[in-house]
Amino acid sequence: MRNVEFRIPQIMFDELFAHLFPGDHDEHGAVIAAGICESARGTRFLARKLFIAREGIDYVASKYGYRALSADFVARVSNFCAQNRLCYFAIHCHGGSDSVSFSGVDTDSHKRSYPALLDITEGGPVGALVFAQNAIAGEVWTRNGVHTLDSMTVVGLNHRRLYPAPKKSATIADNIYHRQSLLFGARGQEHLKGAKIAIIGMGGVGSLVSEWAARVGVGEIVAIDYDKLEPSNNSRVVGAMRWDAIEALLNSRFAALRALGKRLSTFKVHVGRRVARAANPKVKYDAVVGNIVDEKFALKLKDADYIFLCADSMQSRLVFNALVHQYLIPGVQIGSKVSVDRATGDILDIFCVSRPVLPQPNGGCLWCNQLISPAKLQEEAISEEQRKRQAYVDDPTIHAPSVITLNALGAAQAVNEFLFSLVGLHDDEGQVAGYRMASPRARRWSKVGCASETSCPHCGDMKTSVFAKGDRASLPCRAAS
Amino acid sequence: MSVAIKLEVTEAINEVGASFPGHQVDIEPDDQGGAFIRVHEIDLGSAYKPSATWVGFQITFQYPFADVYPHYIRHDIARADGKVLVTPFNHNQTFALPSGGVSAVMVSRSSKRRDPVTDTAVVKLAKVLDWIRSQ
């Protein structure tokens, strides 16, 4: 196990911190039940449920040290972890501020308890976290050995990172980033370099996000789209060249030439990779020709730091929303729409939207806000022939209006949301939920409030919710063959 | 290589079987993780002629988030009083089983909102049957 990270939603962190540090300079305890995500980037533990240990009842005097979790409390919570296939993490606090580590009493206690807890929780892993005001240390026990926690990420409007001891100063950023580093700082630029972002859909919106992310210095980009370029994409997909979609072939009256034109057309993700590498030769770019609805592609995103949803199908919305909540990865859905009166051709409305989704209750969950239609999910899953027969869909040859500058409104808002979160520049910590909507005709930006339901299968706290379960729940994807 | 039916879909199919004991239930994978289901010998009541039909539907791979609709019944069903079946009954449709399409009447009753925990495939089937019987 390497690169061990513990991710916790801001709301849960705030509750835990208030319990551990009420101002009495005493020691307090708690347990977190966590999911797990294992990938090539490392291991992430995902805080799902916090159990506060009540003073004198659950957190009591210990015969080995100062205080300890009571046997009843440990039994109850470890049983919960076993039943829900979650990892058990005991928590307590020490004094101090910027550095923290386990005491000898702590590690002796781990040796006494954790082998048994591993059995109770059917392999866990299990572990312990110790907090100071501005630091965290951790130990993870598996059946294969004991591992050290590298960091904690508090996932909120602003990302916050905690370590066992202060990180050494960031190196001065590359001169090409000088002007933006004046805003982000050298540390912020380093965070961008270490970040992995995912872009679902590389059309008019995704291509903008991809170029901007590469240009600001994001270290790793995964872009997913199964589509090839068409001539009509040239006006919106940044970096698309005339030869990427040869109109004369694609519109030929000969089927063989049309087929050749289709074969010679460039995949949108390959255009994105070309543009990104031109902007930033150091970027690690994974151009995935595929559909996010297929499990093998969706799982490529589970260890991302941020997800941009730039596709407009209901199926991709559902998978995006599941990834955000199941793996505690913040994301944003971006879109623009021009409504046209079918009968008269009149323009009815134009809007561009950026919907940030934070993995926590009231974080903007797309399911809670009825932005994922169950009926549309069903319709998108059946064959095209069946859809036509049932007359569910509009004529696919009729395209909706789309303009690069309208796409750019939502895309710019979303990329700023990501940048400010990653480097900690948002100033309204209390106002997490809310979508941003532009109405260009009225020359107005507005904020749309969000709903949240405790029974939600993605962000809710019911047993059936996939919230923070990570690899221990399945994604709503097409199964692998 | 064929795609296995997803666990959530299998559980839904089992619920359907358990709720219709004694009825033949046919299952065909849709090769995406979902399945086509056909429950036989369902009684629609004396308002229909013939009153017994099979009912077919597809549970898709994004169930339980995805709605379960439309439902299909035998193609020669008619009202006993001679009145014409109107929308959401749709004649001249096909229940598109992978093993071969079956002529059918489609009953299109979608749900705008659904609770993935309580609005199961069998609950939806019961609601659709109640609705058909009440017409």
What ipTM was assigned to the predicted interfaces of this complex? 0.89
User: Quick check: A374 and B32 CB within 8 A?
Assistant: no
| Distance (Å, whole) CA A430 – CA A39 | 33
Residue where the block lists tokens 């705008």 = B112
pLDDT surpassing 50 at residue A137: yes
Does residue B98 belong to any structural domain of this protein? yes
* Chain A residue with the nearest C-alpha to that of B65: A374
Task: Give residue B49's domain range.
Answer: 7-134
Cα A268 off chain centre by: 23
Q: Could you tell me if A91 and A131 are in contact, meaning their C-beta atoms sit under 8 angstroms apart?
A: yes
- pLDDT category of residue A398 using cuts at 50, 70 and 90: low
Residue A175: predicted pLDDT: 86
Which candidate, B135, B131, B117, B122, places its Cα nearest to that of B12?
Answer: B122
Give B70 to chain A, closest Cα distance, Å. 9
For range B9-17, the mean pLDDT: 95
**For residues A290-314, average pLDDT:** 96
Query: Which residues of chain B make contact with A390, given a CB cutoff of 8 A?
Result: 70, 90, 93, 106, 108
Tens of pLDDT along A425-458? 988 655 666 898 999 999 999 988 888 889 999 9
Q: Are B59 and B25 in contact (CB under 8 A)?
A: no
Class of domain A175-227+267-448: alpha beta
Q: CB of A152 within 8 A of CB of A162?
A: yes
Summary mean pLDDT of chain A? 91
| For residue A392, pLDDT beyond 60 | no
Q: Between A and B, how many residue pairs show a Cβ–Cβ distance under 8 A?
A: 83
Structure confidence at residue A358 (pLDDT)? 94
Res. B13: pLDDT tops 80: yes
- Considering only residues A385 and B94, tell me which one the structure prediction assigns the higher pLDDT: B94
Tens-place pLDDT, residues B47-103 = 898 999 999 999 999 999 999 989 999 999 988 888 888 888 888 889 989 999 899
Check: pTM over 0.90? Answer yes or no: yes
Q: Which residue do the tokens 């797309």 mark?
A: A366
Cβ–Cβ gap A478/B32 under 8 Å:
yes
Q: Comparing A33-42, A170-179, B31-40, which segment has the lowest mean pLDDT?
A: A170-179
Q: How far is CA A374 from CA A101, A115, A118, A124, A125, in A?
A: 49, 45, 40, 35, 36
CATH number of the domain bearing residue B97: 3.10.110
The pLDDT > 70 percentage for chain B reads 99
Give the pLDDT of residue A429.
59
- Contact of B10 with chain A, judged by CB distance below 8 Å, is answered with no
- Into how many domains does chain B fold? 1
pLDDT on residue A397: 52
In B1-135, DSSP assigns E strands to 25-29, 35-43, 48-49, 52-59, 71-74, 78-79, 89-95, 102-107
Nearest CA in chain B to A464: B117
Report yes or no on B2 lying in a domain: no
**Residue B1: inside a domain:** no
Contacts of A478 in chain B (CB under 8 A): 3, 32-33, 61
DSSP 3-state assignment of A393? coil
Lowest mean pLDDT among A54-58, A260-264, A364-368: A260-264
Residue A454: exposed, middle, or buried by beta-carbon count in 10 A (0-12, 13-18, 19+)? Answer: exposed
Q: B96 vs A386: CB contact, 8 Å cut-off?
A: yes
Pick A381's closest partner by Cβ from B4, B61, B64.
B61
| Set of chain B residues whose Cβ sits within 8 Å of the Cβ of A474 | 6-8
CB contact under 8 A, A375 and B110: yes
Does residue B49 sit within a domain?
yes
Exposed, middle or buried, A383 (CB in 10 Å: 0-12/13-18/19+)? exposed
Q: Sign of the C-alpha dihedral, residues A448, A449, A453, A457?
A: positive
Would you state the pLDDT for residue A223? 98
Q: Tell whether domain A4-162 is in CATH 3.40.50.300.
A: no
Which residues of B fall within a CB distance of 8 Å from A378? 58, 60, 66-69, 110
Among the listed ranges A147-156, A320-329, A333-342, which one has the minimum average pLDDT value?
A: A333-342
Task: Say which residue, A201 or B93, is predicted with more confidence.
Answer: A201
- pLDDT greater than 60 at residue B1: no
Please list every residue in chain B whose beta carbon sits closer than 8 Å to the beta carbon of residue A318: 62, 65
The domain ranges of chain A are: 4-162, 175-227+267-448
Beta strands at A151-155 and A331-340: parallel, antiparallel or unpaired? unpaired
Q: How confident is the model at residue A248 (pLDDT cuts 50, 70, 90)?
A: confident
Q: Is there a contact between A375 and B60 if contact means CB atoms under 8 Å apart? A: no
